[in-house]
Each structure stands twice: as C-alpha cells, then as structure tokens.
A = this chain, B = another copy of it.
C-alpha cells in the first residue's frame, strides 16, 4: 500500500535495491542545503527522510522548508564519503528528474525539521505557540513517535483483551448527570427544553448495567469528561481503558489486567515480569508516604514515633514521628537546607526538621541540640543512616506527616537522578479503606453525600468480605475490595469489586448520607437493575493518557494527545470554547421558561 497516486515508495523504502531504478516519492522539504550549485533536499514523509539531489537550478529555486513536493528521479549510491550512517537511507540518494510542488508553505512560526530534533528541546517555542500551530508541532518526529506509540498501545491492549474473549462495547456519552466525584459537563437537550444531558465522567454505571445485561466481559477505550478547575496536567476530556468482568474476584481482575499491562509494555519495547508485586495501602502510606509509591528506588520512611516516645523535644511529642534518610546530605551547606524549608512550606508544611551525621558520632543541624543524649546516641542506627548522610523528620498527625515524608523521599530521588523515565516500577496497591473523611485536604473531589464519610474509590465499591456485615458500624476502619495499579509514583489504573446487591448498596449510600429518595433520583436505574439477577462483578480502568505518557517518557499528557486543551480548557488553535450567536443559544433551549408556555 505504499504505492499511491503520488508515490511509488515511502522515503525509507528507497534502499540500495532501487539503485539504478526510477522512483517517485512525496513529502515535505525537511531541510535544504546548497553546495556548489547543487541543491540537496531532505525529503520527509511519515517513514523518515531520503535525500534528493537537484542539479537543475530552475527546479531547485522555488523549494523552501515544508513545501510539499512530489519527486521522480533515479536512485544512486551516494558518492564515496557522503554516506550518512544515522539515516536508514543514508547510503543512497535520488537524483531529481521531475519535481512537482503540491503545496507551498509560508515562513514557519517555528522550525519542525528532523535535523533539529536531537538538539536541545529548548529550541521549541512555548506551549501556547505549539498548541496554536499544533498541525506543525505534530510534524516533529518526537510527536509522531509518541502519537504512533499510543496507537500501538491501544492495538496491543485490544488484542490482549480479544484473546481473553472480551467484547468491546460502546456506551453512550449523552447520559444522565450522576454523582461520581467531580463536576459534570452538561449539554442542554433542545428537544426536551429545560432538561440536560451530562457527559460521562466514566462509563461506570453503564458497564455495571452491561454486566447485569449478561455480557460478562466488556471493555472500551472510552472518552471521559470532568469539568474540573484547571490543574497542571489535567484535561477536560481524557481517555480510559475501561474493563469489567462478571463472576470475577479481585484476583481474577488483577490477573487479567496484568496480561493487558504486559502487552502494552511489550508494544513499547519493554518486558514486564508477572505477577506484579502487591503492597497494602497502609504499608504504602507507612513506608512511602503515598498511595501511589514510586518503587524505582528504596529509601523507605522510618517510623520514629516509638523512638521519640519520651523525647524532651516538644516538636517530636506528636502522634507520629517519621524520618527519611538523605544520602550524602551531611556535607551540604546550610542554605540548601534552608531551601528545603521553603520547599516544605510551599507544600503547606510548617517546615522540615533535619539532622546531619557528619561522622564520628557527631550530630549537626538545629534539631540535634533539642534531643536527649540517648536519642542522639542511637539516632543514626535507628534511622539507618551512614556517616555523611542527613535525615529529614516530620512530626504531627500520621497521615499528613507521612505525605510530607513521601514527597521528601521523591524529591531527594529526583535530585539524585533516580527517577529514570525508561525504568518502570509497577506495583499493585491493595487493601484500601472503604471510606475516607469528606474533609480530606488532599482531595478536591466533590463529596457525594451529606455525611462525614465519602467513598475512597466510588459508591459502588464492595466492602471486603469480612466487613460486609459491619462496615456501616465502623466506617473509619471498614476495608474494601479495591486495587490501584501504580507505575513510577503515578496511579495508572484502579478498580474494585462492585456491589451487586441492592441491600449492600443501600447501606453504603446511607453511610455516605445519600437518602433513599436522592439515591432513587440519581441512580435509581442501577438499584432497579440489581433486582433482576445481577451477577457478582468487578473491573478496572486505566488512565490511558497517563499510561501513554509514562511509556513515551514525555513530560506531560498533552504530549500524547493530538489536540489537547491548554490551561482553562482552551484550544489556542481553534479558539474553542467560543461565544455563540443568540439564535444558536435560543435553539439550545437553555432559556426555556416553563411558565411562559402556559
């Protein structure tokens, strides 16, 4: 299929085999060099580059960067010494016979030439310019690679799922507004004035209904929508690989998901060793100060609460004290530690206590003098530090202190260059609590109900077997059958066993403070469906943009989305969103007044 009306070969299909033959290629002028009255054009197409040699000055004169041309010519070996070993076509060149300019190009707002690709990324203009001229930005080989990788990822995931007999089913995106944690995008329904559709935050309820509908194994690469306030690296629309299984346990879903993960990673050229390890949520918090621990490196948090239980130091007289070792930190100057204080305060902490082990049992740093002699004595061994290391401490409520230490741990690793983008540390996080307090400061989801408890995952998550009978008596400690898959400190997917019994669902909704009438209004259809033989079911969803970003090793999910939105949900290229004319507004029905109808 490389042959078309415009070419006989793709650029990189022109090999030494074609020497002496005429070929026709088509693509963009990637670069032009002139040398002794002869023009050398790097012609670029989707496969790469091939060199065109033009002896005829008339032919060469009009050609500029990013002109689209069709070239017919004879293939020859490059003259001795002119080979380019970096190029697939580096041993040949095409001597132009005829050249057709298919389209011209104005001067470019920024350069997209392949030749610049390996130079410093800071040659690129700001992201707003890149997004305004996204069609140019996409021509850059690194964007081409990334978007193609994403396509391969999707193909690999589908192949793995098809092999396991999953059925791909499309679910609607004009649905009823249901509470799932964030704000819905809404669409006025012109034909039912005063009524609105919502765009789905996920196909959660619909995939559960597909299970009630007997499909047993469903998947979909689904577009999802969340109308959130702008945050770096969030998009108003995003993609999810959404999977659900009936007659399946948590282990069944995890085993299935591991097959999918292995297939995706393989498509990107990496091998994943199965099974993927598991860590409990509590362990992840205790050891890594995060529910999405980065396991590319060790340096676990050390709990020191017991160690300091009789401490004279007021700051450490706290419900929790923990420490993280800063390898080699003892030799750093004071101002670096001051900078760490600023870093901690920017994260909302009061500061970051530390001591330095300079060697020979000596302790330095402002904390040292506040400790008892015994504490000073045993400290280095207790935290597991070597001479020359420093240690950071956090003291206070357990959860927030651990989160701070978790961030310290990652920041140290970042500065030490341990966060390698082509190294992948995957882990399951399991044994999550069923509920969390609604006032969790680390969470900007809208609370679903009107209670002090909200769902850790979502309201349809099954309590774990030993909590089914009593989760509502002790919501604080109730556990759920849910699981996240984490890679390099990012949550790339998560799921749970779902509630398939109306009685359990009713009790969960009650804990969340959702009354029977409200539940009926919001998702009565799901509760109704559960009356007619709902199978036990469980599932998982992967954040597809995030997975692509991690596998492509790029800095932002915007780099794995062909046409992303910039901050505030705007598209600098098309100008969306935009005002609409009054006639169009009138047609939407948003100004419909039911009283005026009477």
A interface residues, Cβ below 8 angstroms from B: 1, 4-7, 26-28, 44-46, 66-68, 70, 102-106, 108, 133-139, 144, 147-148, 150-151, 154-155, 158, 162, 164-165, 167-177, 183-192, 194-199, 206, 209-210, 212-217, 223, 225, 227, 229-230, 236-237, 239, 245, 247-249, 251-252, 256, 500-501, 525, 529-536, 561-565, 568-571, 573-580, 584, 587-588, 590
Contact = CB atoms under 8 A, between A and B. Distances in A.
A236 B197 CA distance: 11
B237 A174 contact: yes
A46 B532 contact: no
A159 B30 CA distance: 32
B190 A183 contact: yes
8 contacts: A7-B247, A45-B216, A103-B533, A105-B531, A173-B173, A174-B565, A174-B576, A187-B187
Contacts of A26: 247, 535
Contacts of A500: 102-103
Contacts of A571: 172, 175-176
Contacts of A247: 4-7, 26-27, 45, 70
Given A186-B188, A534-B68, A217 B5 contact: no
Contacts of A206: 562-563
B168 A214 contact: no
A561 B170 contact: yes
Given A210-B138, A247-B26, A191 B103 contact: no
Contacts of A245: 4
B580 A196 contact: yes
Contact of A562 (B27, B162, B169): B169
A333 to B, nearest CB: 44
Given A172-B561, A192-B568, 6 more contacts: A4-B248, A67-B533, A169-B562, A186-B580, A191-B569, A195-B577
B1 A256 contact: yes
Contacts of A191: 229-230, 568-569
B176 A151 contact: no
A41 to B, nearest CB: 13
A27 to B, nearest CB: 8
A106 B530 CA distance: 9
Nearest to A536: B102
A542 to B, nearest CB: 14
Contacts of A531: 105-106
A195 B144 contact: no
Nearest to A205: B574
Contact of A170 (B227, B239, B530): B239
A139 B28 CA distance: 53
The 4 closest A-B pairs by CB, nearest first: A138-B213, A5-B249, A189-B577, A105-B533
A5 B501 CA distance: 18
A135 B579 contact: no
A491 B27 CA distance: 34
A46 B216 contact: yes
Contact of A227 (B162, B171, B190): B190
This protein's copies in its complex = 2
A70 B532 CA distance: 16
Contact of A175 (B4, B190, B574): B574
A529 to B, nearest CB: 5
A356 to B, nearest CB: 46
B169 A147 contact: yes
Contacts of A148: 167
Contacts of A168: 151, 154-155
Contacts of A212: 135
B236 A174 contact: yes
B173 A215 contact: no
A576 B216 CA distance: 25
Contacts of A44: 214
A275 to B, nearest CB: 15
B6 A588 contact: no
B562 A210 contact: yes
Nearest to A136: B532
B562 A170 contact: yes
- Residue of A68, A136, A171, A571 most packed against chain B (CB within 10 A): A68
Nearest to A249: B5
A136 B44 CA distance: 55
B46 A217 contact: yes
A529 B135 contact: yes
Contacts of A103: 500-501, 530, 533-536
Given A187-B185, A562-B169, A578 B6 contact: no
A568 B189 CA distance: 9
B171 A574 contact: no
A533 B213 contact: no
